[in-house]
Amino acid sequence: MGYNQITTMDISEIKRRAEHGESISSISKSLGYDRKTVRKYLRVIQSNPELKTSSIKKTLNRKLNGRPKEKQNILEAFKEEITGLITGHVVNSDNTNNSTGQNSKQTISSGNLKLKSAFEVICLKHELTGKLSYSSFKRYVRNNNIRNNSPKATCRIEVEPGSQIQIDYCKVGLLTDPAQDRRKTVYAFIGTLSYSRHKYVEFVYSQNKESFIQSHINMFNYFGGVAVTIKLDNLKSGIIKPDLYNPKINRAYAEMAEHYGVFLDPCRVASPKDKGIVERDVQTVREEFKKLVAINPLITIAEANSKIKTWATEIYGTKKHGTTHQEPYLVFKKIEQPILQRLPEEEYQIAQWKVAIVHPDHYIQVNKKAYSMPGDFIGKEVMVKVKHNTVSIYHNEELVKQHTVPLGNRQTDMNDFPEEMHHRLDTGMPFYLRKQAAAISLDFERLIHKILSPNAYINLRRAQGLVSLAKNYPKEIIELASKTALKNHPTVYPKLFKSIIEKHQQRINQTKQEKLNISEETSGFIRDMDYFTH
């Protein structure tokens, strides 16, 4: 196999599959890693059962590195000849005349050799025996897309009851959504049990990951159990990065699979035959949807979902399947359903995964809410798992912080801020903000100092907001607004400060309008109040 970098999530999956009793060959085939790689990591896992998943890679003496390409470069010189040996095309070959010592071009026809035979021919003709492995040869052929175009026989592989579900999404048509009063595209989520061919179908308006996972949960509840493996396409809702050797699975989807004890087996890219059972169902379900709409053009998506489930059990499920020659629903009820894995006691709660940066004020921003973090993580990228009422924060696959979702906009743990932080007003960002405030107004600097005094960083964003706001108004008005805020408001936010500024500005404008128009002659007699006190 070609080299691919193993990840911490994949190590965790190797461990989970091994504990479930899967063989090394089965794990290697499902995850796309060489058996030697799987065996190497299993040795570390088994010899150190207490070791955390994130530390397993660190215990190995060396990491997997990209394999050198010298062998591939050797074969590149014989690309035309290799192509001819495998595909059967006519090629030109250099031939040396032993009597004259001269090279001459010969046109030869070589045909349709198997990879192993082509490998042996190349090694014998060019003295490469012992210098080149068969794995390197196969990798070169695969990377250069050299293939025999002769027809291939199709082998249908049956599986054990309860061992596999194949799933797919497909676009089926349009329906009117009463909630939005407009026509929307409808997709069908299809899950077919590979043994019985009994299927779960759900029509949805969205293909996002939340809808994708919820359809899985609904499918498990409908079947009343879980198969061992899910065979899925490279949908973005489940697979972040489709790859032959190392597909990146969506975190929330992988977590759901672990919750239900099911293993995910992504198909190869552009290989629909890898899940041919459900692929055939796409045409059937799409046609059934069109029939439902033809019968009732005003049908809702809820009504369509109810009718398609009745169809799956009472109509399609009671007819003999063209391949198995058995009734899918009857086989499901009698044979497959009783041996499905039991559902967990608690239903999976769909979680959102977000990427966040820990800002200088010790906070991260997720879904328009702020959560405090220890100072050691400032400037670092963290993964945030958001559930209905909890937020879990991970760094390098390890849980480092957990918060409850606040009613307001901020959740603060005072332990994340060192005690000496209220003494840090003369350094860093707090000092910079005080300096900017002092250049505008002394009272404004007093206001910023008051905001930052309890903790130099906990109110840093509020102080930044006030300083940015103050730059948009005359200094005289900021001075008046600062005095009012210091006198009448113990807590000042940018929105409140802006309101105070606008009131002062309105009052000044009104005063100017109320002044009488005075002639130049009259204005010469006007004196200040100090004139009359002497």
Query: Lowest mean pLDDT: which of 242-256, 295-309, 404-418?
Result: 242-256
Q: Verify that 405 and 428 share a domain, yes or no.
A: no
Is position 525 within any domain? no
Tell me what percent of the chain is helix, strand and coil, each rounded to the nearest 5.
45, 20, 35
Is residue 62 pLDDT above 60, yes or no?
no
Is position 346 within any domain? no
The CB-based long-range contact list for 394-397 (8 Å cut-off, 24+ gap) reads 396/54, 397/8, 397/9, 397/53, 397/54
Tokens of 263: 């293993």
Q: From 36, 59, 82, give the residue that closes a domain.
A: 59
Q: Verify that 424 and 438 share a domain, yes or no.
A: yes
Q: Verify that 181 and 318 share a domain, yes or no.
A: yes
Q: Verify that 431 and 443 share a domain, yes or no.
A: yes
Provide CB contacts within 8 A for 500, sequence distance 6+. Answer: 481, 484, 485, 489
- Residue 176 · residue 186 · CB < 8 Å: no
Q: Verify that 331 and 362 share a domain, yes or no.
A: no
Over residues 228-253, the mean pLDDT reads 62
119-163 pLDDT tens trace: 888 888 888 888 888 888 888 888 888 876 655 555 566 789 999
Distance (Å, rounded) from C-alpha 268 to C-alpha 239?
A: 12
Q: Is 368 helix (H, G, I), strand (E, B) or coil?
A: coil
Q: From 398, 416, 434, give the residue that closes a domain.
A: 416
Tokens of 168: 């797919």
Can you give the pLDDT at residue 102? Answer: 46
Query: Lowest mean pLDDT: which of 145-149, 202-206, 225-229, 329-333?
Result: 145-149
Is position 532 within any domain? no
- Residue 170 · residue 282 · CB < 8 Å: yes
- Banded pLDDT at 265 (limits 50, 70, 90): confident
Query: Lowest mean pLDDT: which of 132-136, 192-196, 230-234?
Result: 230-234
Q: Of 74-78, 137-141, 198-202, which has the strongest mean pLDDT?
A: 198-202
Tokens of 292: 């439902």
Can you give the pLDDT at residue 204? Answer: 94
Domain ranges, residue 123: 70-143
Q: From 339, 370, 395, give the residue that closes a domain.
A: 339
Q: Verify that 44 and 77 share a domain, yes or no.
A: no
Termini Cα distance of the chain = 102
Distance (Å, rounded) from C-alpha 488 to C-alpha 504?
A: 14
Is residue 2 pLDDT above 70, yes or no?
no
Is position 308 within any domain? yes
Total of domains in the chain: 5
Query: Lowest mean pLDDT: which of 66-70, 205-209, 278-282, 475-479?
Result: 66-70
CATH at 271: 3.30.420.10
- Kindly report the three-state secondary structure assignment for every residue of 337-360: HHHCECCCCCCCCCCEEEEEECCC
- Banded pLDDT at 98 (limits 50, 70, 90): very low
Over residues 327-354, the mean pLDDT reads 91
Distance (Å, rounded) from C-alpha 218 to C-alpha 157?
A: 28
Q: Verify that 412 and 434 share a domain, yes or no.
A: no
Is residue 238 pLDDT above 90, yes or no?
no
Angle at the Cα of 297 (from 295 to 301), degrees rounded to 5? Answer: 100
Over residues 422-426, the mean pLDDT reads 58
Q: Verify that 46 and 77 share a domain, yes or no.
A: no
Q: The tokens 């009422």 sit on which residue?
A: 389
pTM over 0.95: no
Within 458-493, residue ranges assigned H as helices are: 460-470, 475-488
- Residue 362 · residue 393 · CB < 8 Å: no
Q: Verify that 229 and 367 share a domain, yes or no.
A: no
- Banded pLDDT at 96 (limits 50, 70, 90): very low
What rounded mean pLDDT belongs to the chain? 81
Q: Verify that 323 and 383 share a domain, yes or no.
A: no
Can you give the pLDDT at residue 180? Answer: 85
Is residue 317 pLDDT above 90, yes or no?
yes
The CB-based long-range contact list for 374-382 (8 Å cut-off, 24+ gap) reads 374/400, 374/401, 374/416, 375/416, 375/417, 375/418, 381/355, 381/356, 381/357, 382/355, 382/356, 382/357, 382/358
Q: Which residue has the higher pLDDT, 360 or 444?
A: 444
Is position 374 within any domain? yes
Is position 406 within any domain? yes
Provide CB contacts within 8 A for 277, sequence distance 6+. Answer: 166, 192, 194, 197
Q: Edge to edge, what strands does the sheet with 390-395 contain?
A: 352-357, 381-386, 390-395, 398-404
Can you give the pLDDT at residue 333? Answer: 95
Is position 521 within any domain? no
Q: Verify that 400 and 460 share a domain, yes or no.
A: no
Can you give the pLDDT at residue 63? Answer: 42
Q: Verify that 210 and 136 share a domain, yes or no.
A: no
Angle at the Cα of 496 (from 490 to 501), degrees rounded to 5? Answer: 110
Is position 173 within any domain? yes
Can you give the pLDDT at residue 7? Answer: 75
